[in-house]
Structure 1
Amino acid sequence: MHHTLLIIGAGASGLMAAVTAKDLGIDTAILEGNDRIGKKILVTGDGRCNLTNTSTASGTDETAALSAKFHGNRPGFPVKVLEQLGVRETMDFFYSLGLPLTHLKEGMMYPRSLQAASVTDIFELAMEEREVPVYLQHKVVEIAVSDGHPRFTVRCHTEAEEQAVFTCDFLLIATGGLTAPHTGADGSGYTMAERLGHTVVDTVPAIVQLKVQYPHLKALSGIKLQGRAHILINGEIVRSESGEIQFTEYGLSGPPILQLSREASVHLGRGDAVSVAVDLMPGRTEEEVVDFLDMHWGIFGHRTVADSFIGILHKKLTPVLLKEAGIDKQPNLLCQDLSWRAKAIFYRILKHWEFKVTDTNGYAHAQTTAGGIDTAELADGTLESKLVPGLYFAGEVMDVDGDFGGYNLQWAWSSGYAAAKAVAESMKQKDVSI
């Protein structure tokens, strides 16, 4: 079976590329190892699918603001891709498919139905309307490249354990990374790329919960609070984020932790010392916290220390703080009898409660993969391989990962669009029939 463009992977970037390519008149087909398209889309955004984020879609340089949300060994690499399809163009694209969007918080955009299935359903409909063949349960096992025509030969295993052979003039690898393995993600795109001569930057889970070493985690489990978290590498703060922080039986979670997790994951892999410091009172400076507590304890010196925290901190935090201060065996200790040592411990913990990070919660719980195909081997803006002409990449398989809040799906849409557009341009230059 021959198609002008073959796309390996029916995830977000592959689906965007297929719609774009077909709309540009390219004979396009998708090979997908799963039994349905968009399996990972279904689990994004807690099953609601955070499609993109409008937080950067204002100001004089929207692309620069958006590209700052992405990471990798070449920080500027996403710019020329995002210039082609930014946030506003992405929203217009989904409206053009008939998928209305809605805003929930902090710029996060979702389908109006708040169901991720709406996104996969609209893509299924778009594939049918455009008559794009989607070969499900076709797992690619080999890619051969020739100097003649056809350029690529792709061999697959099918559900019936038979072998299917496809040929194409242009090939797009959009297989995703290693996150959410239950959706079929297995890193096979890295293997394909390496066999074709490409380099893979070491991968680690990102946007993931952190495991920490602390003796009283079970007592803290379930606590949610508004605070500020700092990630420290070898004792130095490298990034800070604010929002709802969650304590779990294994460690820390919540949007701020997810945002910081990439730094933790990368540096743990390098053997660096990694810790997270939690600020329980981010609205006050250290001096203001000291003044506030001293005044509070002075006014209510007749109350127990435990009672003095009522209304100030989450109730479940108090017993743990008393343990940290070494006064948990003195339940009736009055504020007026607090030692300077105990006060100093409270001051420190409320502004800088540090936890040693031992690990992440792994790819199974991560939202994206940091690392991947080395973007130094890809052409800026087109995502075409510099090593194998006619080979393109899109989405998570590359060494580009975004922040929490819809940015990784934005990269999928933008890169899928840019790659398909580049194929069409290449065909024009080479005068290849579509």
Structure 2
Amino acid sequence: MYDYQASMHHKLIIIGAGASGLMAAVTARDLGIDTAILESNDRIGKKISMTGDGRCNITNESTATGTDEAVALSRKYHSSQAEFPLPVLQQFGIRQTIDFFNVLGLPLTRLKEGFMYPMSLQAASVLDIFELALEDRNVPVYLNNKVLDVTVSKDSPRFKFTCRTETEEQVVYTSEYLFLCTGGLTGLNAGTDGSGYALAQRMGHTLIEPVPAIVQLKVQYPHLKALSGIKLQGRAHILVNGEVVRSETGEIHFAEYGLSGPPILQLGRKAAVHLARGDSVTVSVDLMPGRTEEEVIEFLEMNWGTFAHRTVAESFIGFLHKKLIPVLLKEAGIGQEPNLLCQDLSWKTKGIFYKILKHWDFKVTDTHSFENAQATAGGIATKELVANTLESKLVPGLYLAGEVMDVDGDFGGYNLQWSWSSGYSAAMALGKHIFK
């Protein structure tokens, strides 16, 4: 396609100027490694600028529990190899992340549920600090250079990796070591299009099929339009083939397509993975998570007994969202009886209300797409990487960091934390290898 005439050489080339690539570049350069970055966009960290509603949720301090921090933190991650993230998180965890950004000149602040943000509450501050850090360290960043292909030479250690890019300059980039920090499939507008998967596969690696994670659920339900816009505190359970596989509590949002809100986003990964396998997936919503089933029955019976002269609809006012009430009446089969009194409720209808308030089931038909998801589940198989260094077992000198591999975290800053941790660990491992 191109007749490449010139080459640019560095000891280490990092493909991707996202979170993991930037962390790796700063760490590697501080170790004295000649480092450069190839980035397909016209600026660094484009996806970072879009995270956390424009504020950048850098990490989450809620799992910082002293000596057990790394173990607690590792439980927030998912991979085909469940124990794979732990050695990386032990090297660079939450405390190290906070210290790292303080050293760069970016103090963090803690908001709700341990979410950590730049003190400015602006994602742009993160990019500005990294730009200054790269400039201070004389790390070249070759922008508008999308890598189309990587060839690996077995004959020349100095020119082991050759990167060909989509650029008019007709320059190839060669290096002795290569970091693949290209991200997953989320943030297509930021250039994270999964192209790193193809590069790794051409070098012999295996791809575990990616699916959206931290994502909204589409459900099959006839009254979604009537529920749209409702937000409530509840508990949601994901059931796969009838068995509960995960539960989360928090603010649940109803929309015309289905369900959203932090608890649903946390459950989205399970739904996506099992839907891809052809399993039956259901989300069950508990509208009164602070009470047991027996307590709910006792509460309703007392309410209906005390206000027997009121209509059933009126009996729910005060503890349920008002827009929910007509839908619940339809679910119980009395939607056409708006004036039915509590004293006239049948035992069968009461039983339906008991069940709905604790187990309101919705059949999950799909998740939203990668365009709406906040993370990618799946990626390059971790069994082909050395767990504590992230070096490829198939191609010596090739390292992976960030979302390109089969590791994804929960909602709340954990995926950015994995980028910081993996970028740092890969760079430190390379430094130990070079300067041993």
How far apart are 1:358 and its partner, in Å? 0.4
Structural mapping, 1:6-405, within 5 Å? 6-147=13-154, 148=156, 149-158=158-167, 161-405=168-412
User: 1:162 and 1:289 mapped to 2: Cα distance?
Assistant: 70
Question: For 1:244, what is the secondary structure of its paired residue?
Answer: strand
1:98-137, Cα deviation, whole Å (9 max, x unpaired):
0011111111100111111111111111111111101110
> How many Å separate the matches in 1 of 2:29 and 2:170?
26
Q: Distance in 2 between matches of 1:164 and 1:359?
A: 44
**Residue 115 of structure 1 aligns to which amino acid in structure 2?**
Q
Give the residue type in structure 2 aligned to 1:377. E
How far has the Cα of 1:60 moved from its partner? 3.6
Counterparts of 1:163 and 1:150, CA distance in 2: 17
1:208-256 Cα offsets, whole Å, 9 max, x none, are: 0000000000100110000000000000001111000000110000111
Confirm or deny: 8 A CA contact 1:157 1:164 kept in the other structure: no
1:390, distance to aligned residue in structure 2 (A)? 0.4
Alpha-carbon separation, structure 2, partners of 1:199 and 1:121: 36
| Matching residue's letter, 2:341 | L
Cα distance in 2 for partners of 1:151, 1:377 equals 20
Amino acid at match of 2:191: G
Say if 1:5 and 1:27, in contact at 8 Å, map to a contact too.
Answer: yes
TM-aligned CA deviation for residue 59 of structure 1: 4.4
Conserved 8 A contact 1:17-1:417: yes
- Residue 79 of structure 1, CA deviation: 1.0
- In structure 1, what is the Cα distance between the partners aligned to 2:256 and 2:190? 26
> What SS class does the counterpart of residue 162 from structure 2 fall into?
strand
What SS class does the counterpart of residue 313 from structure 1 fall into?
Answer: coil
Listed as ranges, the gaps of 5+ residues in structure 2 are 1-7
How many equivalent residue pairs? 427
Aligned partners of 1:10, 1:171: CA distance in 2, in Å? 13
Query: In 2, Cα distance between the equivalents of 1:361 and 1:163?
Result: 39
CA offsets 1:143-165 (integer angstroms, 9 cap, x no match): 1111212111111112xx44320
Residue-by-residue CA offset, 1:157-208 (whole Å, 9 max, x unaligned): 12xx443201101000000000121111110000000000000111100000
Tell me, in whole angstroms, the C-alpha distance in 1 between the residues paired with 2:378 and 2:97. Answer: 24
**TM-score normalised by L of structure 2:** 0.97
Deviations 1:5-43 (A, max 9, x none): 000000000000000011111111000001111111111
Q: Distance in 1 between matches of 2:50 and 2:149?
A: 29
Give, as a single letter, the amino acid of the residue that structure 2 aligns with 1:387: L
For 2:289 and 2:120, how far apart are their aligned partners in 1?
35
- Give aligned-pair identity as a percent: 72
| CA RMSD, Structure 1 to Structure 2 (Å) | 0.8
Could you list the structure 1 runs, at least 4 aligned residues long, displaced by more than 2 angstroms after superposition: 161-164
1:423 Cα deviation after fit: 1.2
Counterpart-to-counterpart distance in 1, 2:75 and 2:417: 13
Task: Specify the SS of the correspondent of 1:106.
Answer: helix
State the distance in 2 between where 1:61 and 1:107 align.
Answer: 17
**Are 1:44 and 1:116, in contact at CA under 8 Å, matched by a contact in 2?**
yes
Per-residue Cα deviation, 1:335-374 (whole angstroms, up to 9, x for no partner): 1111112111111110000000000011001111000010
Q: Give the TM-score, by structure 1 length.
A: 0.97
- Structure 1: 5+ residue stretches without partners: 430-434
Give the distance between the partners of 1:162 and 1:19, measured in 2 at CA.
26
Counterpart CA distance in 2 for 1:204 and 1:195 is 21
* Separation in structure 1 between the aligned mates of residue 413 and residue 116 of structure 2, nearest angstrom: 8
Aligned partners of 1:200, 1:289: CA distance in 2, in Å?
47
Q: Secondary structure at the match of 2:177?
A: strand
Report deviation, 1:330.
1.1
Q: 1: distance between equivalents of 2:294 and 2:132?
A: 60
Q: Partner residue of 2:3? A: none
- SS of 1:169's equivalent in the other structure is strand
Specify the SS of the correspondent of 1:230: strand
| Counterpart code for 1:332 | N
Q: Quick one: distance in 2 between partners of 1:78 and 1:295?
A: 51
Residue 5 (str. 1) matches residue 1 (str. 2): no
Question: Equivalent residue of 2:393, what SS?
Answer: coil
Query: d(CA) in 1 for partners of 2:284 and 2:354?
Result: 14
C-alpha distance in structure 2 between counterparts of 1:121 and 1:339, whole Å: 65
Contact 1:384 1:393 in 2 (8 A): yes
